[in-house]
Amino acid sequence: MSAPLLQYLLSGLTVGAIYALVALGFSIIYNASNVINFAQGEFVMIGGMATASLAGAGVPLALAAPLAIAATTLVGVALAKLAVERARGASVVTLIIITIGASILLRGLASLIWDKNIHALPAFSGERPIAIGGATLLPQSLWVLGVTLVVVAALWWFFNRTLHGKAMLATSHNPLAARLAGISVRRVLLLSFGLSAALGALAGILVAPITFTAWDVGVMLGLKGFAAAMLGGLGSGPGAVLGGLLLGLAESLSAGYLSSAYKDVIAFGIILAVLVLMPSGLLGRRSSDRV
Amino acid sequence: MKLHTWFAAALVAVAAAAQAQDPIRIGSFLSVTGPAAFLGDPEQKTLELYVDRINAAGGVLGRKLELVAYDSGGDAEKARTFAKRLIEEDKVDAIVGGSTTGETMAVIPLVEQAQIPFISLAGAVVIIEPVKKWVFKTPHTDRMACEKIFVDMKARNISRIGLISGSGGFDKSMRAQCMQVAGKYGIQVVADETYGAKDTDMTAQLTKMRQNGQIQAVLNAGFGAGPAIVTKNYRQIGMRAPLYQSHGVASKEFIKLAGGAADGVRLPAAALLVADALPGSDPQKKVVTAYQREFESRYKQDVSTFGGHAYDGLYLVVDAMKKAGSTDKAKVRDALESIRGWMGVDGEFNLSPTDHMGLDLSAFRMLEIKNGDWTLAK
């Protein structure tokens, strides 16, 4: 394989893994409530910014990261409790608009609590690039890819092998029947927001050494993560990962071989084409199943 | 009749006294909050600091200065509204402001119509080209940054370069200016790549450049996080050609973000950034070190080049008023055009009817990052 091609593939996988982690957060909340949470990108931002500010204050990374994840989880639960739950019974579109409002609020708060500067975290295991057949990969990229795999496995186990996970899936399929079976739909909602906030924060911490973090990074990461989730099929864990990786590869290959000016156009063009042909994404549940 | 004459004379005297007491009003609209807050915040602080200092030293023409400043939040529409208010309600004598090019361009028709001297603090060359009768500016233009870089490249026998730029306004404008003047300096742009404003990885674009065997140096026209990522990716894939950045990253933040990868990067920047490293013989040293000391002792934050633009803008207006001996708007405008050899934070200003900025390439210093700090490039 030629060195440039290998480099494009490695770059695409790195970026793709970042998108995949964000996309997984979208899928969890969608599974539990059919809501697309547009504040998902802000969870990523809060995780990264909180860790950066704690690390800046001298807290070791091994302590700063869990603290930041815990704080973000609280934000996620608070969002569910204070905003989404109060609008119970409202249409899904209303709930989605609430999450858009929440994302604007969280961004504004972050710029006040922290600042408007860009922050970096040190890479977990050094900055020395690993050479692979003429191409290079940062050790941090392996962290991102590795953690993504672990998270996917853990989520699969959670949703298929634990009572809480099955309760969440049941709620997404039919909230009324789930409630009749004794599942607390309220708790499932809180759990799903908490879980995807924690996941978003984890993503934010992992990618901060590569992409830096700032009060407004959530916008673009959220958008790309959403696109990846759509491509792979909303609600599907493996779909989110597949969608993220494909999006990352499409971007880097088109920047490398076609035109860097149009790489986003090409990537989003592919997504549109897929969605026209397969409206529920590559690995999504057929929507007719749920009627 | 006599009584009336006395009365009228007294009235005139009272009015004249009132006029003497009336402060000179300097209007301003700046992006103190919002996305361009990093521009407007130091600009406003600088204006407040030096209006106070000028007043403490007795003011201008025996009158105190009064600053009337509004926060436009980086919004061109708001900037227009505030400029209108400054002109019509606050009746200011001159305007020093406009943190961004967008705000400035939105306000130009108003100041031209109202015939009031306006000194913009924004970068783009379109503000003063073509020359507008009432509009001046203090910051260096992106074209000058391109020229400074190309001069340095020529000195190092570099003639074929790769250009990589972001999709932001600053990036695009600089890219266009560099393309325009490259030929004049015998520089050929053999690769032209771009990246999105929020992109997180540029290795693909850089790998493509590495495959292009002709490139002798790479220039990154960019602003924000992008250039730091470009710099890290550049080292990651092991490119050895010299890397140039623009004055858009001339802040400590860039070195902090790019870390060790920043070593060896060259960029043009204002003298203020290397105030301490300037030799004692440098004609700009005195003014930049004084500004740095005064700003940092009052606000306990690092000085930035943007605040320096506001310093120059305020003092150019004050200087012109002193020269004109009045605050008459037309006279002040004419006096502005006649300022020569005035040393500011941004460089030596030589204004003229055809040049409403008045800086030349000597205002920029070519810097090289070594061991995580700025040094003057040899």
pLDDT in tens, A44-84: 999 999 999 999 899 999 999 999 999 999 999 999 999 88
- Structural domain boundaries in chain B: 2-140+287-361, 143-276+364-376
* Longest pairwise C-alpha distance within chain A: 60
Closest in A15, A217, A264 to B201, CB measured: A15
- Quickly state the pLDDT bin for B33 (edges 50, 70, 90): confident
How many beta carbons lie within 10 A of that of residue A282, not counting itself? Answer: 17
Nearby residues of B234 by Cβ (< 8 Å), 6 or more positions away: B206, B218, B243, B261
Q: Which chain B residues have a beta carbon less than 8 Å from that of A129?
A: 236-238
Does residue B92 carry a pLDDT above 90?
yes
Across all residues in chain B, what is the average pLDDT?
Answer: 90
Of A47, A27, A13, whose CA–CA distance to A203 is shortest? Answer: A47
Distance CA B346, CA B271 (A): 7
Percentages (nearest 5) of helix, strand, coil residues in chain B: 50, 20, 30
For residue B200, give the nearest of A118, A127, A211 by CB distance: A211
Q: How far apart are CA A197 and CA B342, in angstroms?
A: 56
Q: B199 to chain A nearest CA, in Å?
A: 8
Q: Nearest by CB to A260, from B195, B210, B261: name it.
A: B195
Main-chain dihedrals φ then ψ at residue B53, nearest 5 degrees:
-65, -40
**Cβ distance B72 to B31 under 8 Å?**
yes
pLDDT at A263: 84
pLDDT at B2 over 60: no
CATH class of B2-140+287-361: alpha beta
The number of beta carbons lying within 10 Å of the beta carbon of residue A182 is 7
Give pLDDT, residue B235. 92
Q: Which residue among B207, B225, B237 places its CB closest to the CB of A212?
A: B225
> What tens digit of pLDDT does each residue of B283-299 get?
899 999 999 999 999 99
Burial label, A61 (beta-carbon count in 10 A; 0-12, 13-18, 19+): middle
Q: CA–CA separation, B233 vs B218, rounded Å?
A: 13
**What is the rounded CA–CA span in Å between residue B41 and residue B315?**
18
Helix locations, chain A, DSSP H: 3-33, 40-56, 61-79, 92-113, 139-161, 163-173, 175-180, 185-211, 217-232, 237-257, 263-277
Q: Which of A12, A117, A221 sits opposite B253 (nearest CB)?
A: A117
Q: pLDDT: is B114 or B3 the higher one?
A: B114
Region B173-195: mean pLDDT is 93
**What confidence tier does A283 reach under pLDDT thresholds 50, 70, 90?**
confident
More confident residue, B90 or A131: B90
In chain B, residues with a C-beta closer than 8 Å to the C-beta of A251 are: 204
Q: Is the pLDDT of residue B13 over 70?
A: no
Query: Of B20, B26, B72, which is closest to residue B52 (Cα–Cα)?
Result: B26
Task: Name every chain B residue with its beta carbon within 8 A of the beta carbon of A135.
Answer: 207, 237
Tokens (6 digits) for B279 = 């030799």
Q: Assess contact for A212 and A118: CB atoms under 8 A.
A: yes
Contact: B204, A253; criterion CB under 8 Å: yes
B207·A212 Cβ contact <8 A: no
Provide mean pLDDT across the span A152-173. Answer: 88
Indicate yes or no: CB of B205 within 8 angstroms of CB of A219.
no
Omega of the bond prior to B130 within 30 degrees of 0, cis? Answer: yes
At residue B63, what are phi and psi to the nearest 5 degrees? -115, 155
Phi, psi of A115 (to 5 degrees): -155, -170
pLDDT of residue B151: 95
Looking up tokens 């460089």 gives B347
- Average pLDDT score over chain A: 88
Pick from B197, B208, B256: which is nearest to A256 by CB? B208
CB contact under 8 Å between A7 and B203, yes or no, is yes
* CATH of span A3-290: 1.10.3470
Give chain B's contact residues with A (Cβ, < 8 Å).
Answer: 35, 37-38, 193-198, 200-201, 203-205, 207-208, 210-211, 224-225, 228-229, 232, 236-238, 253, 256-257, 259-261
3-state SS string for A186-250: HHHHHHHHHHHHHHHHHHHHHHHHHHCECCCHHHHHHHHHHHHHHHHCCCCHHHHHHHHHHHHHH
Q: Give pTM, 2 decimals.
A: 0.80
Min Cα–Cα distance to chain B from A118, Å:
7
The CA distance from A161 to A140, in Å, is 31
Mean pLDDT of A98-103: 93
* Predicted local distance difference test score (pLDDT) of residue B152: 95
To the nearest whole Å, the CA of B250 is away from the closest chain A CA by: 14
Query: What average pLDDT does the segment B199-224 reach?
Result: 90
Q: Which residues of B touch A253 (CB under 8 A)?
A: 204
Mean pLDDT computed over B137-151: 92
Q: Say which DSSP state B127 is in.
A: G
Predicted confidence at residue B101, as pLDDT, reads: 87
Residue of A nearest to B223 (CA): A118
pLDDT > 90? residue B308: yes
CB contact under 8 A, A256 and B260: no
- Chain B residues in contact with A209 by the CB 8 A cut-off are none
Say how far apart CA A38 and CA A35 lie, in whole Å: 9
The nearest alpha carbon in chain B to A207 belongs to B200
Helices (H), B57-88: 76-88
- Give the residue with greater pLDDT, B38 vs B63: B63
**Looking at residues B217-232, what average pLDDT do you find?**
91
Task: Reply yes or no on whether the pLDDT at B49 is more than 60.
Answer: yes
Q: Please give the C-alpha separations between residue B268 and each of A72, B4, B184, B256, in angstroms, as whole numbers.
A: 41, 68, 18, 18
Give residue B3's pLDDT. Answer: 56
Rounded distance between C-alpha atoms, residue A72 and residue A200, angstroms: 8
Is the model's pLDDT at B16 over the cut of 60?
A: no
CATH topology of domain B143-276+364-376: Rossmann fold (3.40.50)
Q: Across chain B, where does the E strand assignment appear?
A: 24-30, 65-71, 94-97, 118-120, 135-137, 160-165, 188-194, 217-221, 243-245, 266-270, 342-343, 348-349, 364-370, 373-376
Burial class (CB in 10 A: 0-12, 13-18, 19+), B169: middle
Mean pLDDT, residues B135-152: 93
Interface pTM (ipTM) of the complex? 0.80
Residue B272 is which amino acid?
A: L
| Residue in A11, A118, A127 closest to B201 by CB | A11
Per-residue confidence (pLDDT) for residue A290, from 0 to 100:
44
- Does the pLDDT at position B378 exceed 80? no
Q: What is the mean pLDDT of residues B94-103?
A: 92
Name the band, by pLDDT with cuts 50, 70 and 90, for residue B274: confident
Confidence at residue B11, expressed as pLDDT on a 0 to 100 scale:
57
Question: B344 vs A284, which has greater pLDDT?
Answer: B344
Q: What are the tokens at A201?
A: 């924060």
Q: Please classify residue B298 by burial: count the beta carbons closer than 10 Å to its beta carbon, then call 0-12 exposed, 13-18 middle and 19+ buried.
A: middle
Q: Say whether pLDDT at B252 is over 90.
A: no
